[in-house]
Amino acid sequence: MIERLCVIGVGLIGGSLARALRAAGVVREIVGCTRHAEHLQRAVDLGVIDRFDTDPATAVEGADLVFVSVPLGAMGAIFAAIGDALADNAVVTDAGSAKAAVVADVRSALGSVPDRFVPGHPIAGTEQSGVEASFAELYQDRRVILTPLPDTDRDAVARVRALWEAAGARVNEMGVEHHDEVLAATSHLPHILAFALVESLARMSEQREIFEYAAGGFRDFTRIASSDPVMWRDICLANGEAILTMIERFDQDIASLADAIRRHDGDRLLAIFQGAKAARDAFLG
């Protein structure tokens, strides 16, 4: 049982976790925190949180578990604000999607990484944002990655694992650097491609009726381009090295595909498309 959960950043991710834990009956009180009181009042009205405070240091007082779900660019300031206010037994975890950057921000803000801080990343979300978009089932059968450091308290890791499992998630552990490489390939690059395609076509549409003829395939592929631009700016800055490695690799593959089209190499095109279809079908299976 979590006696008092403090959620810093009560949007889709933080709000959905609060809803899931409340539905599971494993939390007695939920305190919310963001910069905007009207947003937090809306969370109270929706039943997502019990009360709120716009000051992070005040919000975390007495909390035995703190969940930080803010844009990566704001992590350092949040940890600097709450460091001295945390209860001695408080376990802290986060939802940042670039773990090396979060760990570095925590170390910079506090001088060292507390042993009861458990870096984490729920691999879940939608293109919507805000507490109104939150729902208790978001994490059902979704994966959550924890990236504890060598000195991380194992009891703290167990508490965070139990928290996510209560929300319906499947929990894995991996190293910080490995996490950032994997997510650059499977999440960060796809979002960048979706943003880039829509932005490119939007510039074309200034002269032509491009979007009038966009069908289901375009809608499916570009859905994630409706995601929060601030969040994705921060992700690109925080995990830039791994993302650039994936962009360079993808550039080579696109160049190879373009060369096959240029040469009218149908065999090569078919091999690429068949390989991609087989890989995706296996993933879905």
> Are residues 165 and 171 in contact, defined by beta-carbon separation less than 8 angstroms?
yes
pTM of the model: 0.89
Token match 């109270």: residue? 44
Position of tokens 């909390």? 63
Residue 15 confidence (pLDDT):
97
**Are 94 and 200 found together in one domain?**
no
Q: Using the CB atoms, write b or e for 75-85: b if 16+ within 10 Å.
A: bbebbbbbbeb
Domain around 20? 2-174
> How many angstroms separate the CA atoms of 83 and 197, rounded?
41
**158 and 195 part of one domain:** no
Q: Report the C-alpha gap between 107 and 14 in whole angstroms.
A: 23
29 lies in the same domain as 84:
yes
Q: Sheet containing 120-123: give its strands across.
A: 120-123, 143-146, 170-173
What contacts 261, CB < 8 A, 6 or more positions away? 269
pLDDT tens by residue, the chain, 285 residues: 999 999 999 999 999 999 999 999 999 999 999 999 999 999 999 999 999 999 999 999 999 999 999 999 999 999 999 999 999 999 999 999 999 999 999 999 999 999 999 999 999 988 788 999 999 999 999 999 999 999 999 999 999 999 999 999 999 999 999 999 999 999 999 999 999 999 998 888 666 677 887 788 888 889 999 988 988 999 999 999 999 999 999 999 999 999 999 999 999 999 999 999 999 999 888
Written as six digits, the tokens of 83 are: 């460091």
Task: Using the 3D structure, point to which of 139, 156, 174 is the last residue of a domain.
Answer: 174
Give the number of domains in the chain.
2
